Every structure is written in C-alpha cells, then in structure tokens.
Amino acid sequence: MKLVSKFALGLIVASSFMFVGCYDNASPGQNEVAKPVIDDTEIGLRKTDLFSEQQVKPDETQYSESMAGSGHKFKRAFQDAPPMIPHSVEGMLPVQINNNQCVSCHAPEVASSLGALPYPESHMIDFRPKHKFDGQKFEKSIDNMKNEVSIKKISQLSGSRFNCTLCHAPQSTGELVHNNFDPDFTTKDGAEKSHWTGTNLTDGLDTVKE
C-alpha cells in the first residue's frame, strides 16, 4: 500500500513537470506577444516605429543650387568613376533628342572655354556589338565563341552616351547612410580626372578592335 502511494505520488510529480515543460515550450497564445529580438525601430533606415508614419522624417534631398561655372566639384567615388554633377540641373532635364544642354557645355569643342571638363574619349567610342542589319534582319557578324563587343572609335558622341543622366547624377548633400568607402586612386589626380583611355579595360581580351 505504502509502495503504491509512493508510486502514485511519483506519477503525479512527473506529469506536473511534463505539464510545466509543455507550457514553457508552447507558442504564445492569441493574447500573448512574443518578445521581439530586434526592435522594429532598428530595422530600417527610418529608425521609427514601423506601425506609425507620424514620426517618419526622411533625410531631406538637397541638390546643389550652384550655377554651372561656379567652380564647385565633387571628388570621384573611385578611379574612373562617372563624376557626380556638382551644379544645378534646373531646366536641363530631361535630356531630349533636340535639346541636350549638357553637350552644349561639355562637348570637347567648347568645354574648356566655359571652364567645364569635356566628355572624355570613352564617350566617343562605340562599344556596341557588331551586327549585320539589312533594314529587316539582324545577323551576328561573328560567331558566339568570340567576345562580340567591338571598339569603334567615332568622331562624335556615341548614341549610347547621349542621355548623360543615365550615369551622371546630381549629388544630394544629406547623409542618410554614412559612407565608409575609402577609394584607392591609381593615378595622382584620380579624384578629379578620368584616365580611362577607352581601351585599357579591354586590352588583352578577345575583342574586335576597329
């Protein structure tokens, strides 16, 4: 009898431990909220409660208001990076087929007299793949085993560079995210000037040169 009651007591104790164990591991019920591991104010760049738009204050976009010619420039981001536009582009955009004001100041014939840097040699090279086109049908001019990019020097701005703002953008001066990148320029004046000669990135590649 004594033995049985001890055994029964043991069962009761064991099952209550099991019960406690289950309760601890159970997923939170409808009214319980799981403790967040990362606070939602830390998830995004906005650093505010994700359920409220009230306190959201994005960093203001501040483009340069200095007129073209006032001499302000930004350092290049890395060697031969496309320079950011340092002057106001008010009234210059969008670039249109009959109205490309960028060219009217940055074309090599006029740029230096206006204190602007001419667009570089690379902008007067056609890198588009070679094709045969008879007005109806495109045909590859070389086989698939070769690098199809060709390098054709042309005497004018390449059509693929006509829309300058595809690559050159005005720089906003806010600091939404701090930039820790420290460029390692390979030329002495790499922070101010491009030294891309148009072919040095493709030298040694199996590329058609014309």
Interface contacts to ligand HEC, rule CB under 6 A: 68-73, 80, 82-83, 85-87, 89, 92-93, 101-106, 114-117, 119-120, 122-123, 157, 161-168, 193-194, 196
The distance of closest approach from Cβ of residue 142 to ligand HEC in the complex, given in angstroms and rounded to an integer, is: 23
CB-wise, 41 or 187, nearer to ligand HEC?
Answer: 187
Residue 82, number of CB atoms within 10 A of its CB: 13
Which strands make up the sheet holding 125-126, listed edge to edge?
125-126, 147-153, 207-209
The distance of closest approach from Cβ of residue 175 to ligand HEC in the complex, given in angstroms and rounded to an integer, is: 20
CB-wise, 79 or 141, nearer to ligand HEC?
Answer: 79
The distance of closest approach from Cβ of residue 133 to ligand HEC in the complex, given in angstroms and rounded to an integer, is: 22
**Could you tell me which residues come within 8 angstroms of residue 9 by beta carbon, excluding any fewer than 6 positions away?**
none
CB-wise, 75 or 146, nearer to ligand HEC?
Answer: 75
CB-wise, 130 or 193, nearer to ligand HEC?
Answer: 193
The distance of closest approach from Cβ of residue 149 to ligand HEC in the complex, given in angstroms and rounded to an integer, is: 14
- Which residue blocks in the chain are alpha helix, DSSP H? 2-25, 101-106
CB-wise, 16 or 200, nearer to ligand HEC?
Answer: 200
Positive or negative torsion for Cα 42, 48, 51, 57: negative
DSSP 115-130: TPPPP-GGGGEE-SPP
The distance of closest approach from Cβ of residue 171 to ligand HEC in the complex, given in angstroms and rounded to an integer, is: 10
DSSP 35-76: PPSS-GGGTSTT-S-TT-STT--PPPP-B--PPTTS------
